[in-house]
Amino acid sequence: MKLEVDSERLQKAYESVQELLLNERNSAGHWVGELSTSPLSTATAIMALHQVRLQRPEQIPELSPLIENGLAWLARHQNSDGGWGDTLKSRSNISTTMLSHAVFHTLKSEGDFSETIFSAATYIDDVGGVEAVVKRYGKDKTFSVPILTHCALAGLVDWKQVSALPFELSCLSHRFYATIRLPVVSYALPALIAIGQVRHHFRKPWNPLLGWLRDSCISRSLKKLKRIQPETGGFLEATPLTSFVTMSLAAKGLADHPVVVKGVEFIKSSVLEDGSWPIDTNLATWVTTLAVNALGDDLPNEDRPAILEWLLSQQYTEVHAFTNAAPGGWAWTDLSGGVPDGDDTPGAMLAILQLQDDGSDNLKIRTAIQRAARWLLDLQNRDGGWPTFCRGWGALPFDRSSADLTAHCLRALDAANPYCDFKEELEAARKSGFQFLNKAQQQDGSWLPLWFGNQHAPEDINPLYGTAKVVAAYRDTNRLEALPVQDGLRWLREAQNEDGGWGGIPGVPSTVEESSLAIDALLANEDAFPEVSRGISWLIDRVEAGTVGETAPIGFYFAKLWYFERLYPIIFAASALRKTIETIEKNKSSKDAGAV
């Protein structure tokens, strides 16, 4: 069976996308990308600046224009149903709408927003208000408590409706956090401290002994918060988390605290020209590794050394102050607010190995890869899968093992094997990793990812992304004959839409990102070439129409907070088109050799 593709159109499409992607590099030679602007980030930034402004009137001339521009931007981008989504392409949701409504309610004297406020209040009442927020996140208080705190500061929620967070536990050694099963995920320690304190400030516990204990821990936990704040001032380089911390401390009278001062500077420096804020500063390391791996050998030789050195320089060489992660991993960004994790680290490993000039045994590369492999081994959970940030924090979804991260780690560890002198440990880790994937497979043959979703699918799931990533792990480790991956390939084939593309689940709108991922995975199976041929034609049509760069909100940035990245469709399309060309050439060479 062969691919039925117009070779000339395919080649031209790939060259076009390749040029687009190469032109997106910065002056240093790597990629930075551009994250979607965010109503949620904008609402939280406005509230943080306003709380500081209340305590520090001398900053009114400096902060008021930012607040006014942010409000105007939010008002312009309210959805027709009265709500707001996480991106300008997202459906309205209760979380972002409550946050946005709260700032308009608080700052209604700043302009005539009566219609905006009324429409938002109607939407909130219709979908369930506070109860809907709590229900959305369940036991995970990482985001529900900050949202309700934000609304309590606006006077819209009673403080008794805001769960108390045990900020005093931040005074314990980091190794105890997994054991005591905190109600927030591992990356949310700053929110635990700051929001826990502001809730304690406005609503003391009925037990005087507990009140005394918490009072005695305030100073010590603030010192810890100051110690873990990045140089940029932005916790995780994220405006929402930084804003929640800033507004909470300012509201309890600590607007002059160093953490607040640095937080305000970060918020000010992060605002976009249109008056809004993005969800995070950038995903520079992540998009660079994705781009390198997408282009493969087609990345120009003269450009490779600079990217390689830059990636090597991003590896953490000291214990991380925030999560206490050991040296050896990579974060999503090159900025100080990043945290090493189980997705960016394997991505960086694969990109570094791809960037080697001739496969020679470079000591610097060998050392980096071996340290990274060791880091991944130490991150692996007992269930055989990999979490995002910290081993053992299994109480909440964004700390549990996940199929997409596990698949990525397995690919990287397999590629790292020649560089490591602990091969038995690697083999044991890979064995348990695939056992985890087998158990994580859904009954229909698909796998669900952690960090990507589809807003048109039930419960925001995206089995297309998860299955494509797991298939890649089986493919790259020569396990395509295994029954689980055969079921996964079958699911991908059957998930194709009538138009030839793919969405997160069958029947939802096709996107460049998801279609490209499906093609990339299905190229591993000749039986799927009819579906691949239709998919490639769909993708080529997008390139020729000039819409290949049209983004879809498929990414989650913590706790189902949607985002899109401008480079995702270009990167994923480049990979799919390049690998299709390589597959055609490989099949042609095999037939020519057979004929001889």
Rg (CA), the chain: 24
38-278 has which fold?
Answer: Glycosyltransferase (1.50.10)
Tens-digit pLDDT profile for residues 426-466: 999 999 999 999 999 999 999 999 999 999 999 999 999 99
Q: What is the mean pLDDT of residues 183-192?
A: 68
Cα–Cα distance for residue pair 542/494, rounded to 1 Å = 22
Handedness of CA 322, 325, 327, 330 (dihedral sign): negative
The mean pLDDT of 552-580, rounded to a whole number, is 93
User: Distance between CA atoms of 408 and 550, rounded to whole angstroms?
Assistant: 26
Are the C-beta atoms of residues 556 and 499 closer than 8 Å to each other? no
pLDDT of residue 400: 85
Give the CA angle between residues 574, 579, 585 to the nearest 5°: 130
Q: What ranges make up the beta strands (E) of 347-488?
A: none
CATH 1.50.10.20 at 314-440, yes or no? yes
Residue-wise pLDDT for 241-267, tens only, equals 999 999 999 999 999 999 999 999 999
Fold of 1-35+443-596: Glycosyltransferase (1.50.10)
Give the mean pLDDT of 299-322: 93
- Give pLDDT, residue 302: 94
Examine the pLDDT at 173 and tell me if it is beyond 70. Answer: no
pLDDT tens track for 29-85: 999 999 999 999 999 999 999 999 999 999 999 999 999 999 999 999 999 999 999
Distance (Å) of CA 174 to CA 44, 193, 213, 387, 538: 28, 14, 19, 17, 50
Whether the per-residue pLDDT at 10 is higher than 70: the answer is yes
pLDDT at 595: 46
Q: Give the CA distances from residue 87 to residues 91, 234, 235, 249, 414, in Å, rounded to whole numbers and listed in that order.
A: 8, 20, 21, 27, 37
pLDDT at 183: 45
- Mean pLDDT taken over the chain: 92
Q: Which pLDDT score is estimated for 244?
A: 96
Q: Lowest-confidence range among 134-148, 195-209, 326-340?
A: 134-148
Q: In this model, does residue 396 exceed pLDDT 70? A: no
- Compute the Cα dihedral for 250, 191, 266, 269 and give only its sign: negative
d(CA 596, CA 579): 26
**Residue 280, both tokens:** 């995070």
Between 403-416 and 463-476, two packed helices, what is the crossing angle to 10 degrees?
A: 20
542, HSE (Cβ side, Cα atoms, 13 Å): 27
- Residue 111, pLDDT score: 76
Q: Which of 370, 381, 384 is nearest to 437 (CA)?
A: 384
Q: What is the pLDDT of residue 320?
A: 84
Looking at the predicted structure, is the pLDDT value of residue 477 above 70? yes
Looking at the predicted structure, is the pLDDT value of residue 513 above 80?
Answer: yes
Would you state the structure tokens that stand for residue 340, as one six-digit string? Answer: 């090493």
Confidence at residue 334, expressed as pLDDT on a 0 to 100 scale: 96
Is 498 a residue whose pLDDT tops 70?
yes
The predicted pLDDT at position 596 comes to: 40
Position 591 scores a pLDDT of 61
Tell me what percent of the residues of the chain surpass a pLDDT of 70. Answer: 94
Q: Where are the domains of the chain?
A: 1-35+443-596, 38-278, 314-440
| Environment class of 326 (CB within 10 Å of its CB; exposed 0-12, middle 13-18, buried 19+) | middle
Spatial distance between the Cα atoms of 4 and 15, rounded to a whole number of angstroms = 19
